[in-house]
């Protein structure tokens, strides 16, 4: 802790600690004994496959955006391990509340690639997705889904269901009252809720040091009365392990947890952003040495769980999946304009039904 | 039939809804042990338990956001915001989430929540306790905005709001909480939303109001009656979506309309009604549609608030003026 002028004569009444978790070093070497699931080569390769698919999908989405066939899009480049790692530790009956950069979590939970494209292509039907029906859609107003997560977790607890809500957001969101209010409430009621902050160091152009004076974001959980852990968010093994522990604790009635996933946004904030305006190429280049996919691949190759042939086959598979999804997305039949009134209310009040008819070119009733 | 004040009617409706449906939960600041600062939730925690009648931390944004999450899970949360002056942190949740969850997920998730809050001035309360900003809420597509003006309608409309499958902001006229008394039968029967109530029929002009201002409006009507002016009085009750048919039907009959609301004039809900009348019943009008409203200034604190709120005299003057057009 930074030096502070404190009166040393006063007794200390509380001390807090924040732990850091990391298993794989950036070069894929092992830092400390791995968690038991790491012996499951099927799981590890599945995590790897999901991250690779996400990266290729992002590339395709950006290409679609650059050619005018998709709206603004947020890539996960460099932080794929965060959303994939947490989602892999969830059960389908758990409830996901993603931010707009959590495509990886949605894909793991069964949302189709073309549904994600549909959302970013400006069509609400992308939110009526094939993932769990109770999962929330992407949240665009930063951090505003955190109170929803608390409300959901309260409902799960009230009904004594062994389910957990998982709320994802970025470092910028930790500056918002929404997030703190939700954390505070979750602490009071020991809710089955796991908060995960993808600390990718940048909230568009604002660096972490202008976001907070805290040494860690994990320590924000301490103020809400529960455990916050800092995790190497570019190490998917650490993300998965931390997520497993946090979700199990929440499910078993031990209350909320907070995971700070320290990672780096290698890409622009979105396709509408140019990160070169506010950060140096050298900084970005340095973080490329830590990125999660190369890291896990190095480990898998060293363990002989992965080969060059596997890599080539995976690339071909992902390419094919992404291309098929893009074709399906582009072939989606457009909605009729008047459907913007659909699902506004359970039953559209007559006052607005008239406007719907007007838009549809139908005669007024 | 037993008599109840408006706040007692709210309490009866909440208890009835909780009794009928285990998914109904009540949450807010001081709603539990204390029974609410106005006693609207008195006795509920004792009867239904602290899990379903929940004292939240002091965080209004949280209350509204919790409601969205609970509702998406199938609960029927009824959140209380202690005074309307404290509702603004909830606007993000109401605009960005509650009102559009159904639409943006194309019906996959829904938001059957109610956010209750006292509305209006006139109880000599401290600063920020006297707001009437219903128009900004009525501007939000996907919401319902409801405001009762009597114990009977408070009971029936609150039951309807809780049972409604979409988000409802329920504004309770603070000034009438104890001042309004009436017969309320606790029979579990809801009143229709989106329906205005004709409180008095008349041929000469239409007076439209909602919430506490109905009190002054009715008093003005009595006085006008003595002068030979027969006013029809409409309690709008639901502002979003409002009952255009009843309003337009009445104006077609009377040809004259005065809209009375406590909120500031500019962009107030009266403007919406006046515009609809101008668009759809211009040929029926015998006089300009007139508004009697709060002034376009900050709601003053206790010493001046009586001058801010439309008086019986101002309503009478406006009514006489429109009746002088021929």
Closest residue in chain A to residue B107, using alpha carbons only: A343
Give the pLDDT confidence score for residue B1 in this predicted structure. Answer: 77
- Three-state secondary structure call for residue B114: strand
Q: What is the mean pLDDT of residues B145-166?
A: 98
Residue among B70, B89, B142 whose CB faces A345 most closely: B142
Which of residues A165 and A3 earns the better pLDDT score? Answer: A165
Mean pLDDT value across chain A: 97
Q: Is the model's pLDDT at A1 over the cut of 70?
A: no
Active site residue A254: no
Give the pLDDT confidence score for residue A363 in this predicted structure. Answer: 86
d(CA B39, CA B174): 12
d(CA B226, CA A301): 96
Residue among A141, A182, A343 whose CB faces B62 most closely: A182
Which residue out of A21, A163, A269, A297 is catalytically annotated?
A: A269
Judging by DSSP bridges, how do beta strands B231-235 and B197-200 pair with one another? Answer: antiparallel
Interface mutation vs chain B, best among A163, A187, A343, most B CBs within 10 Å: A343
Interface mutation vs chain A, best among B21, B76, B106, most A CBs within 10 Å: B106
- Please report which helix (H) or strand (E) contains residue B259, including its range: strand B257-264
ipTM: 0.96
d(CA B84, CA A92): 40
Give strand pairing partners of B3.
B183
DSSP symbol at B170 = E
Interface mutation vs chain A, best among B65, B93, B139, B143, most A CBs within 10 Å: B65
Threshold 0.90, pTM exceeds: yes
3-state secondary structure string across chain A: CCCCCCCCCCCCCCCCCCEEECCECCCCCECCCCCHHHHCHHHHHHHHHHHHHHHHHHHHHHHHHHCCCCCCCCCCCCCHHHHHHHHHCCCCCCEEECECCCHHHHHHCCCCHHHHHHHHCCCHHHHCCCCCCCCCCCECCCCCCHHHHHHHHHHHHHCCCCCCEEEEEEHHHHHCHHHHHHHHHHHHCCCCEEEEEEECCEECCEEHHHCCCCCCCCCHHHHCCCEEEEEECCCHHHHHHHHHHHHHHHHCCCCCEEEEEECCCCCCCCCCCCHHHCCCHHHHHHHHCCCHHHHHHHHHHHCCCCCHHHHHHHHHHHHHHHHHHHHHHHCCCCCCHHHHHCCCCCCCCHHHHHHHHHHHCCCCC
| CB contact A253 to B (< 8 Å) | no
DSSP symbol at B128 = T
Buried/exposed code over A307-329 (b: 16+ C-beta within 10 A; e: otherwise) = eeebeeebeeebeebbeebbeeb
Distances in whole angstroms, Cα of residue B301 to Cα of each of A67, B134, B136, B214: 58, 19, 22, 22
Using a CB-CB cut-off of 8 Å, the residues of chain B touching A344 are 102-103, 141-142
Q: Is the model's pLDDT at B70 over the cut of 90?
A: yes
Give strand pairing partners of B54.
B27
Q: Is the model's pLDDT at B326 over the cut of 90?
A: no
d(CA A105, CA A96): 8
Phi/psi region, residue A215 (left: phi>0; alpha: psi -120 to 50; beta: rest), is alpha
Residue among B65, B105, B164 whose CB faces A128 most closely: B105
Using a CB-CB cut-off of 8 Å, the residues of chain A touching B68 are 147-148, 151
Mean pLDDT value across chain B: 97
DSSP symbol at B113 = -
DSSP symbol at B121 = S
Using a CB-CB cut-off of 8 Å, the residues of chain B touching A155 are 69-70, 73-75
To the nearest 10 degrees (0 to 180), the angle between helices A80-88 and A292-302 is 60
Going by C-beta distance under 8 Å and a sequence separation of 6 or more, which residues neighbour residue B310? B213, B216, B260, B261, B262, B292, B293, B294
C-beta of residue B291 within 8 angstroms of C-beta of residue B258: yes
Residue among B66, B73, B96 whose CB faces A144 most closely: B96
Residue among A145, A165, A345 whose CB faces B166 most closely: A345
Burial class of B317 by CB neighbour count within 10 A (0 to 12, 13 to 18, 19+): middle
Closest residue in chain B to residue A179, using alpha carbons only: B62
d(CA B276, CA B247): 9
Q: What is the dihedral of CA B153, B159, B165, B171, to 10 degrees?
A: 50
pLDDT band, residue A3 (cuts 50/70/90): low
Count CB-CB contacts under 10 A for residue B191: 20
Using a CB-CB cut-off of 8 Å, the residues of chain A touching B74 are 155
Which residue out of A20, A278, A335, A343 is catalytically annotated?
A: A278
Active site residue A269: yes
Q: Is the model's pLDDT at A245 over the cut of 80?
A: yes
Judging by DSSP bridges, how do beta strands B76-80 and B24-28 pair with one another? Answer: parallel
- Please report which helix (H) or strand (E) contains residue B240, including its range: strand B238-240
Structural tokens at position A210: 């202008």
| CB contact A345 to B (< 8 Å) | yes
pLDDT band, residue B74 (cuts 50/70/90): very high
Residue for token digits 């439209």? B208
Give the pLDDT confidence score for residue A365 in this predicted structure. Answer: 65
C-beta of residue B207 within 8 angstroms of C-beta of residue B217: yes
Give the pLDDT confidence score for residue B269 in this predicted structure. Answer: 98
The residues of B carrying an active-site annotation are 129
Measured in angstroms, the CA of B120 and the nearest CA of chain A are apart by 27
Using a CB-CB cut-off of 8 Å, the residues of chain A touching B166 are 345-346
Residue for token digits 């999804």? A325
Question: How far is C-alpha B8 from the geometric centre of its chain's CA atoms?
Answer: 16
| pLDDT tens for each residue of B97-129 | 999 999 999 999 999 999 999 999 999 999 999
| pLDDT tens for each residue of A102-135 | 999 999 999 999 999 999 999 999 999 999 999 9
Q: Poorest-confidence range of A3-12, A275-284, B49-58?
A: A3-12
C-beta of residue A198 within 8 angstroms of C-beta of residue A217: no
d(CA B258, CA B270): 9
């Amino acid at each position: 802790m930074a030096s502070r002028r404190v009166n040393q004569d006063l007794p200390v009444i509380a001390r807090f600690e924040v732990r850091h978790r990391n298993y794989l070093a950036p070069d894929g070497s092992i830092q400390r004994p791995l968690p038991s699931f790491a012996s499951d080569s099927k799981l590890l390769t599945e995590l790897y496959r999901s991250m690779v698919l996400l990266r290729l999908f992002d590339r395709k989405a950006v290409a679609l955006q650059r050619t005018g066939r998709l709206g603004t899009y947020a890539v996960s480049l460099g932080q794929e391990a965060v959303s994939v790692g947490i989602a892999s530790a969830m059960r389908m009956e758990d409830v996901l509340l993603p931010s707009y950069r959590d495509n990886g979590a949605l894909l793991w939970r069964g949302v189709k690639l073309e549904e994600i494209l549909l959302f970013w292509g400006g069509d609400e039907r992308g939110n009526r997705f094939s993932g769990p029906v109770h999962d929330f859609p992407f949240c665009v107003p930063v951090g505003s889904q955190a109170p929803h997560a608390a409300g959901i977790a309260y409902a799960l607890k009230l009904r004594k269901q062994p389910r957990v809500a998982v709320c994802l957001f970025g470092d910028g969101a930790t500056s918002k009252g929404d997030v703190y209010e939700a954390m505070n409430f979750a602490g009071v009621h020991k809710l089955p809720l796991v908060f995960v902050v993808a600390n990718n160091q940048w909230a568009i152009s604002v660096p972490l040091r202008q976001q907070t004076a805290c040494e860690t974001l994990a320590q924000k959980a301490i103020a809400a009365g529960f455990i916050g852990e800092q995790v190497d968010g570019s190490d998917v093994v650490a993300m998965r392990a931390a997520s497993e522990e946090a979700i199990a604790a929440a499910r078993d009635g031990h209350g909320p947890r907070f995971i700070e996933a320290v990672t780096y946004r290698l890409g622009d904030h979105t396709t509408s952003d140019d990160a070169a305006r506010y950060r140096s190429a050298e900084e970005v280049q340095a973080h490329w040495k830590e990125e999660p996919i190369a890291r896990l691949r190095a480990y898998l190759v060293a363990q002989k769980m992965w080969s060059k042939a596997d890599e080539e086959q995976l690339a071909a598979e992902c390419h094919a999946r992404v291309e098929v999804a893009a074709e399906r997305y582009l072939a989606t039949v457009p909605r009729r304009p008047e459907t913007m009134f659909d699902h506004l209310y359970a039953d559209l009040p007559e006052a607005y039904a008239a406007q719907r008819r007007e838009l549809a070119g139908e005669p007024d009733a | 039939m037993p008599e109840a004040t408006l706040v007692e009617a709210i309490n009866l409706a909440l208890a009835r809804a909780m009794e009928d449906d285990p998914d109904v939960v009540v949450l807010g600041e001081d709603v539990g042990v204390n029974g609410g600062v106005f006693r609207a939730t008195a006795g509920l925690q004792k009867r239904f338990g602290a899990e379903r009648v929940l004292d939240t931390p002091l965080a209004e944004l949280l209350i509204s956001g919790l409601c969205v999450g609970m509702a998406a899970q199938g609960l029927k949360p009824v959140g209380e915001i202690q005074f309307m002056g404290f509702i603004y942190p909830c606007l993000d949740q109401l605009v960005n989430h509650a009102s559009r969850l159904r639409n943006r997920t194309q019906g996959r998730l829904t938001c059957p929540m109610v956010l209750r809050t006292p509305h209006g001035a006139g109880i000599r309360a401290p600063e920020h306790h006297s707001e009437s900003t219903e128009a900004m809420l009525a501007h939000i597509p996907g919401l319902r905005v409801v405001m009762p003006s009597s114990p009977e309608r408070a009971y029936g409309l609150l039951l309807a709001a809780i049972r409604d499958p979409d988000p409802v902001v329920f504004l309770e006229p603070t000034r009438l909480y104890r001042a309004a008394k009436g017969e309320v039968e606790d029979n579990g029967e809801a009143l229709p939303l989106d329906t205005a109530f004709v409180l008095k029929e008349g041929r000469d002009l239409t007076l439209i109001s909602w919430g506490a201002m109905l009190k002054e409006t009715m008093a003005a009507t009595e006085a006008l009656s003595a002068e030979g002016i027969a006013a029809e009085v409409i309690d709008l009750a639901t502002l979003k979506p409002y009952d255009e048919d009843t309003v337009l039907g009445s104006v077609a009959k009377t040809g004259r309309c005065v809209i009375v609301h406590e909120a500031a004039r500019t962009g107030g809900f009266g403007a919406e009604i006046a515009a609809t009348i101008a668009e759809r019943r211009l040929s029926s009008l015998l006089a300009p549609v007139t508004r009697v409203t709060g002034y376009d200034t900050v709601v003053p604190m206790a010493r001046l608030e009586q001058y801010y709120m439309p008086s019986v005299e101002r309503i009478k003057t406006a009514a006489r003026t429109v009746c002088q057009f021929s």
